Amino acid sequence: MNNERPVRLGILGCSDIARRRTLPAALKVPEVTVTAVASRRADTARAVAAEFGGDAVAGYEALLEQPDVDAVYISLPTGLHHEWTVRALRAGKHVLAEKPLTDRYPDTVAAVRLADSLGLTLRENLTFTQHSLHDAVHKMLGEGAIGELRSMTSEFGFPPLPAGNVRYRADLAGGSLLDAGVYPLAAASMFLGPDLDVVGATLRRGAGTEVDVAGDVLLCAPDGRTAHVAFGFEHAYRCAYTLWGSEGRIVVERAFTPPPDFRPRVRLERADGEREHVLPADDQFAGTLTAFARAVTGGGAAARSTHVVARARLVAQVRDRARLLGDGWSGGADGR
């Protein structure tokens, strides 16, 4: 690929997150340009193309046949990610898929292996990992701000969603673990390492739903450090993590979904007092698109695949080992 021109991006699905965050960020990133938009509804594709650029295309398969599309951004319900990721890769397209990459660990492994075998870039759009906030926290840890890190907690939850929301549909891989739980699980991996093990978990099914609406997980690293994460669709909004060390704590609010103009605040708590660090604003969606485009043009196809597989393994362990709470569970867990 000619590294001097932008990556020509096709949009597969016009979800709320695509229209609110990903596509506005794409307009800021010179390394990408939107060239085609496909949706189930022709009028939706036309409206999104009119706002963000590119041609409206009738159907997902037709978009994959477009010769002027180098890569696709897949913003479909989770249960459709694997099918269309594989189709896109086999069509010779690089792929940026909304999180989680797939809803089953074997599918994630298979998709990563396929991308690697074809020399294509495959990334998961878990954008918070690209925010500079977390680099700043890592630097504080490295400088000994809280001594030795012992454990962490992390939470991501929000109030119930409107009836009929796709996250309540089991046939499209809905549920709080895949939608909200992946954030604190990824945060735990970010600070305690990728080799975490699930030593206890619960998943609770909501009344009148076919999916989990809340969960808690206890994780352990090989060196004995632990993390407790909680998530769900039935909470007052919370989006945070806390790192607890031998000499203090680091508390991060708005950890996973800060707006692009938001200046994060990191609170350092020690015996000698509390200090608040106000960090620069950052657009994590633009950062993710930039990193994806550079991987495409620079040949970094497998650069982050190990992180994606590690996160999928943790999700599979939660499903496998969780105590299932609430009426209607049949016992056991799928997706391993």
Residue 87 token pair = 């189709």
Task: Please give the Cα distance from 146 to 144 (Å, whole number).
Answer: 5
Instruction: State the pLDDT at residue 329.
Output: 58
7-128 and 131-285+316-325 agree in CATH topology? no
Q: In what order do the strands lie in the sheet with 122-125?
A: 55-58, 32-39, 7-12, 71-74, 94-98, 122-125
Task: Please give the Cα distance from 266 to 254 (Å, whole number).
Answer: 10
> What is the crossing angle of helices 105-118 and 305-321, to 10°?
170
- The yes/no answer on whether domain 7-128 falls in CATH 3.40.50.300 is no
Strand stretches in 189-327, DSSP E: 197-205, 212-220, 226-232, 238-245, 248-252, 265-270, 273-278, 323-325
> What is the crossing angle of helices 182-192 and 132-142, to 10°?
30
Catalytic positions are 99
Do the Cβ atoms of 203 and 212 come closer than 8 Å?
A: yes
The phi-psi region of residue 246 (left if phi > 0; otherwise alpha if psi is between -120 and 50; otherwise beta) is alpha
Instruction: State the pLDDT at residue 206.
Output: 86
Count of CB atoms situated within 10 Å of the CB of 139: 10
- For 131-285+316-325, CATH number? 3.30.360.10
Q: What residue segments make up the domains of the chain, in order of their start?
A: 7-128, 131-285+316-325
Instruction: State the pLDDT at residue 169.
Output: 94
Alpha-carbon radius of gyration of the chain: 20
Do the Cβ atoms of 334 and 102 come closer than 8 Å?
A: no
How far is CA 327 from each of CA 158, 204, 207, 211, rounded to the nearest angstrom? 22, 9, 7, 11
Mean pLDDT, contiguous 10-residue spans, the chain (336 residues): 80 95 97 96 94 95 96 97 98 97 97 96 96 98 98 97 92 97 98 96 91 97 98 96 98 97 97 96 97 84 71 97 81 43
Task: Please give the Cα distance from 297 to 8 (Å, whole number).
Answer: 11
Instruction: State the pLDDT at residue 335.
Output: 39
Do the Cβ atoms of 240 and 251 come closer than 8 Å?
A: yes
Instruction: State the pLDDT at residue 255.
Output: 98
pTM: 0.94
